[in-house]
Structure 1
Amino acid sequence: MAVSTAEAVHVEPEDAPSARERLARAARHRVTLALAPGVLYLVVREVGLLVLRLMADRWDKEVTRALTSWDGQWFLGIAEGGYGNVPSWLADAFRRRTDETPLAFFPGYPALVRWVDGLPGIEAVDAAFTVSLVSGVFCAYGLHRLGQRVFGGSYKAGLYLVVLFAASPMAIVLSMTYSEATFCALAAWSLVGVVERRWVLAGLCCAAAGLVRPTAAALVLAVCAAALVAIVTKRDGARPWIGAAIAPLGLLGYLGYVAVRTGQWDGWFAVQQRGWDSRFDGGAATWRFALVVLGDPRSVLELATVWFLVVAIALVVLSVRRGLEWPLIVYGIGVLAMDLGSNGLMNSKARLLLPAFTLLIPAALALARRRTTTAVAVLAGVVVFSAWFGAYAITAWQYAI
């Protein structure tokens, strides 16, 4: 006997997933997507630390000592004793020390370390590593958000940007007791605020970044310039005014504090020049350094540093040609200009490029348009190189980074 259409009953195959199973799979998928930026960042950094352990054994160095070397000791000293009780053995580049020397280091990162150190059972070194680790993860999510929000961006581009940042040539400092991870996290979220026109977020994160590193000057420029355009075009009401007013407070506040402590309006710059011969010379010293190194390479690190600077300049051109949002270009150029224009320690220039992460966005977007296998192969090579170079910089290389 025939069964009419109205009477037909749809029977799912026995192996078809139930509604509950489908919901569970969807939930797991959402969790995976949410965790991916942080997990990728941690995996890349763990690869760097594994290679560091191998290099440390080769050069008979202790891993913890390598990860707390150079400026890391200053930050730990300030975190434990404040500016007035830094260990007496710490000195500037000329092996000198005055009461003003510790003021060369901004207070934001050591303040966070000191707060975490106040928790039961946590020592200063562990607190410093924790702050760097958590900051790096927060930065990863900020970068992923940027990779999605820029013109032509996508979820995949955001992930690739996270990997490129975590595998930057001197990304090893993200795992050290240095302030770069904390600064980059604040800068990334400040720029997210700019791109999404969330001006209070942009201003608050920018102000906080100004207490962490002097590189915040580039961030202040980008945030205030973007806010000014919004004000002139009468967009977003009073919020751009608020963001622009808040943004420079951290940087100006600390520079003002050092000016009062030293009795000089340019006190922080004077401390830098006296202690590390660091001042802005328009790039003359960098140019001389590049010519010497390219003409007669003296080390892998110095030669690589020059080429990293060349690549950074090429990335600026690529960002402009790609049509990257102009505040992100302004920020990247600002960071690069501060690095190129300073006559400070030439060996630090690769590290000082790390906050210029916006220049990596075009590369992330380009990789997102390639086959996944191609992108993974390229990124794997970058991760391996970064792991080796970072380990080399703090084990085989015997000078400050």
Structure 2
Amino acid sequence: MDELDGVADVDDAQRHGLPPLRSGGPPTPTRMMRLRAALRRALPALIVFAVMRLTAVAALSVWAVHVGRHPRTVLGMEWDSLWYIRIAHDGYGTVLPGPAGSGTVYSDLAFFPLYPALIRAVGTVLPVGEVNVALALSWIAAAIAAAGIYAVGELVYQRRVAVALVALWGVLPQAIVTTMAYTESLMTAFAAWALYAALTRRWLTAGLLASLAGLTRPNGIAAVAAVLTALGMHAWRCRREGRPIGRCAWPAVLLAPAGWSGYVLWVGAKKGSPGGYFAVQRRFGSAFDFGHYTLYMFKHLMLAKASLGQYTAAAVVAGSVALFILSVLDRQPLPLLVYSATLIGMALGDTHFFTSRPRLLFPAFPLLLPIALALSRTRFRNVAVVMPALAAFSLAFGVYLAMIAKSPP
């Protein structure tokens, strides 16, 4: 186990109910008992999440069969999923022409490598086809992400808040991506557990998980920023108190950004330019413009008719900003705030499909903590009205995104 000393002082640890921190040695029966107890506490949240996502798959499958399409094709062979499947099967090197006359060329180097690498590795052992493996990995990662989200919620607040947090994450309008061959589930799983490890001062674990999050998606760098923030707080506190930083902290500083920066540098080397990865992204229409395109879209939505996906995207973006302000007022731990702020900044500053903004914000689960806290304090009859309504909209909107919308989820 890593050396555990840092982000919070002893009083903070006791206030959040953290377990006694020890280092070294194999797992003891006490630790196994703690693990089983943690799983029992998280079980209601995981059951709620599983029911919601399985219901979504069932609803989408019924609609797909009704219109003459195979559910597996809808879930695993649309939009970005095709790129990941192709990379898993053939490796990198595919380029496709853009719209006629545009002169645009799309390259698969825009897609980070961990998810297709896992598809290929598991598919080699279990030859059931890349699509089936991709979907299985996404579903398993979603369950692991839900467990990590619960762990963070329970650590920062308490069990009722953690259960509400997982339930809210599972009924977001864009939650359909957890059942598709997309990378959001995998990235959120790594990020959630990286945040938990950072908040409980398991530095090497936090650095490794942040590195894997950064190797999964471009916005995985949010987990890197959060872990580095936690490490910086730890170093500042140790210096102020005149105690050593610890032998595991410095390696974690180098490990956390290794996945994201390693892939970006590798693409740059292949393209013969340090900014080669960002040039590839620009070919897809994705660049950082400090929010000019987002503001243009909000203006457009006020002056002209738009699609349901665009209006929902605008609501999610505006809601995310409002929830971030509430998160700051609630004095969430700084690593969580940095994680959410990085994801919001990347989503608002991107010039790609506006309707994809909710998906870019999907891993930002700490933004839901203010709502989860409110739900945990309200009467059950109110929760019994709010949650089914959110679930119904999530199911309907998920079917719309996957089956009807003309733009990617």
TM-score range, shorter chain: 0.7 to 0.9
1:48-96, CA deviations, whole angstroms, 9 ceiling, x for partnerless residues?
1122234335554432222120000000111111113x5x7x5557787
CA apart distance, 1:250: 0.3
Distance 1:33-1:217 versus aligned 2 partners, 3 A rule: closer
CA apart distance, 1:370: 1.8
- The residue number in structure 2 matching 1:7 is none
Where in structure 2 are the equivalents of 1:49-198 lying within 5 Å?
49-57=57-65, 59-68=67-76, 69-84=78-93, 86=94, 101-150=107-156, 153-198=157-202
Task: Determine the C-alpha separation between the residues in 1 that align with 2:396 and 2:142.
Answer: 20
2:355 to 312, 330, 347: 347
- The residue number in structure 2 matching 1:6 is none
Q: Is the 8 A contact 1:231 1:241 kept in 2?
A: no
Task: Determine the C-alpha separation between the residues in 2 that align with 1:105 and 1:123.
Answer: 20
Task: Determine the C-alpha separation between the residues in 2 that align with 1:233 and 1:389.
Answer: 46
CA apart distance, 1:101: 0.5
Task: Determine the C-alpha separation between the residues in 2 that align with 1:211 and 1:31.
Answer: 28
- The residue number in structure 1 matching 2:310 is 302
1:265 to 262, 274, 277: 274
Q: Is the 8 A contact 2:229 2:334 kept in 1?
A: no
Distance 1:186-1:93 versus aligned 2 partners, 3 A rule: farther
Does residue 388 of structure 2 align to residue 380 of structure 1? yes
Task: Determine the C-alpha separation between the residues in 2 that align with 1:338 and 1:280.
Answer: 8
Under a length normalisation based on structure 1, what TM-score does the superposition of the two structures give?
0.86
1:42 to 47, 50, 57: 50
- Which shows bigger deviation, 363-372 or 338-347? 363-372
SS in 1 for 2:125: coil
Number of residue pairs matched? 367
CA apart distance, 1:177: 0.6
Does residue 372 of structure 2 align to residue 368 of structure 1? no
CA apart distance, 1:380: 1.9
Where in structure 2 are the equivalents of 1:200-211 lying within 5 Å?
200-211=204-215
AA at the equivalent of 1:287: L
CA apart distance, 1:41: 1.9
- The residue number in structure 2 matching 1:280 is 288
Task: Determine the C-alpha separation between the residues in 1 that align with 2:361 and 2:343.
Answer: 7
Q: Percent identity?
A: 33
CA apart distance, 1:45: 0.5
1:392 to 377, 400, 405: 400
* Bigger-Rg structure (1/2): 1
1:119-154, CA deviations, whole angstroms, 9 ceiling, x for partnerless residues?
23421111001110110111011001011011xx11
SS in 2 for 1:363: helix
Task: Determine the C-alpha separation between the residues in 2 that align with 1:96 and 1:371.
Answer: 58
SS in 2 for 1:220: helix
CA apart distance, 1:246: 1.0
1:361-397, CA deviations, whole angstroms, 9 ceiling, x for partnerless residues?
1211221112234324322221111111111011111
Task: Determine the C-alpha separation between the residues in 2 that align with 1:195 and 1:378.
Answer: 31
SS in 1 for 2:404: coil
CA apart distance, 1:34: 4.9
CA apart distance, 1:39: 2.3
Q: Is the 8 A contact 1:59 1:395 kept in 2?
A: no
- Which shows bigger deviation, 362-371 or 51-60? 51-60
CA apart distance, 1:240: 2.7
SS in 2 for 1:118: helix
Task: Determine the C-alpha separation between the residues in 1 that align with 2:126 and 2:293.
Answer: 47
Distance 1:61-1:74 versus aligned 2 partners, 3 A rule: same
Q: Is the 8 A contact 1:228 1:240 kept in 2?
A: no
In the alignment, structure 1 segments of 5+ residues that lack a partner are 1-27
Distance 1:29-1:354 versus aligned 2 partners, 3 A rule: closer
SS in 2 for 1:212: coil
Q: Is the 8 A contact 1:92 1:101 kept in 2?
A: no
Task: Determine the C-alpha separation between the residues in 1 that align with 2:372 and 2:249.
Answer: 29
Task: Determine the C-alpha separation between the residues in 2 that align with 1:93 and 1:280.
Answer: 22
Task: Determine the C-alpha separation between the residues in 1 that align with 2:75 and 2:192.
Answer: 24
CA apart distance, 1:293: 1.5
Task: Determine the C-alpha separation between the residues in 1 that align with 2:195 and 2:59.
Answer: 32
Task: Determine the C-alpha separation between the residues in 1 that align with 2:154 and 2:47.
Answer: 17
AA at the equivalent of 1:139: A
In the alignment, structure 2 segments of 5+ residues that lack a partner are 1-35
- The residue number in structure 1 matching 2:228 is 224
1:234-266, CA deviations, whole angstroms, 9 ceiling, x for partnerless residues?
175233323222100000100010011100101
AA at the equivalent of 1:219: A
1:330 to 338, 342, 361: 338
1:239 to 230, 248, 266: 248
Distance 1:29-1:348 versus aligned 2 partners, 3 A rule: closer
Under a length normalisation based on structure 2, what TM-score does the superposition of the two structures give?
0.85
AA at the equivalent of 1:386: S
